[in-house]
Amino acid sequence: MGAKGRSAWPVRLGRGAFAALAVAALGVATVLAGASAAKSAAGSRETVTVFAAASLHEAFRELGRRFEAAHPGTRVVFSFAGTQVLRAQIGQGAPADVFASADEEHMQAAEEEGLIVPPAELFARNRLVVIVPAENPAGIEDLRDLAHDGVKLVLAHSDVPAGRYGRGVLEALGTDPRFGEGYPARVLGRLVSEETNVRQVVAKVQLGEADAGIVYATDVTPAVRDALRVIEIPAAFNVVARYPIAVVRGAPNPEWAEAFVRYVLSPQGQAVLQAFGFGPGDEPRG
């Protein structure tokens, strides 16, 4: 990525990587078929295929509609999944034009693997919250209650950006004596499910299959808000999730891919993202 936001993280595949790669392999076949169908349906229209992190679903759908309206004759096709799955699909040859990641680590790895045209650019920020069902059967009122016996916790897998961020928040909370000795381990001991993307975490809590989950603030959309309660994570312990975007190397439609990236970074695109609760990507790191 560019000089301002670039970090040289060593990226290693964790225990869930093999499962993610299996999902990716199945996904590539689906994406290839979908791309072919989209091309036929679009006729002479210019199609831009965007691979975007699951947490961007609503915001990017709206961006796509506005981009098409601003550029008659274009069509934006989306594939939403966990960032790690999308990166694997691109590496296996899925025909993507644009890659929008929920973290810098996976984008950095994609650059090192020659999958994107550098530099990637930061376009949005996010933060984490804890969600519980509206009925709150486990009686979770604050973050300390996550460690109580009988609580059923769901997180995204540690290979998923939201899962890694969530575990980081628990570690940060564990440094505060108010949460008691061994807080992170006690909370993770309540883990009953690990999901391949953050939207699945929301679904498990919404359906009452789990008592709590850690998700992005932007995942508490109007569609699920009435079914959930939100417990805020203090800024001192929270993370800032930074989202980078880049044109995919060998993109089928590189000119329009670049145009879409520019639109996301434009004042109009940033206004859409902020309307969906995202912060600006160029926020100082402090």
Residue entry with tokens 């973290």: 103
Closest residue by Cα to residue 233 from 169, 187, 171: 169
Which residues share a beta bridge with 215? 129
Is 55 within any annotated ligand binding site? yes
Q: Is 70 annotated as a binding residue?
A: no
| CB of 118 closer than 8 Å to CB of 245 | no
83 annotated binding-site participant:
yes
* Contact in structure between 5 and 242 (CB atoms under 8 Å): yes
CA 204 to chain centre: 17
Amino acid at position 91, single letter: G
Distances (CA, A) of 222 to 207, 225, 226: 16, 5, 8
44 is in an annotated binding site: no
According to the annotation, is 162 in a ligand binding site? yes
What are the b/e assignments for 31-46, b being 16+ CB within 10 Å?
beebbeebbeeeeeee
8 A C-beta contact, residue 168 and residue 240: no
Which residues, 6+ apart, have CB-to-CB distance to 161 below 8 Å? 53, 83, 84, 101, 102, 103, 105, 106, 241
Sheet holding 116-126, edge to edge: 74-81, 46-53, 98-100, 241-248, 116-126, 279-280
Helix (H) or strand (E) holding 94: none
User: Which residues are annotated binding-site positions for molybdate?
Assistant: 55, 83, 162, 198, 216
User: Which residues are annotated binding-site positions?
Assistant: 55, 83, 162, 198, 216
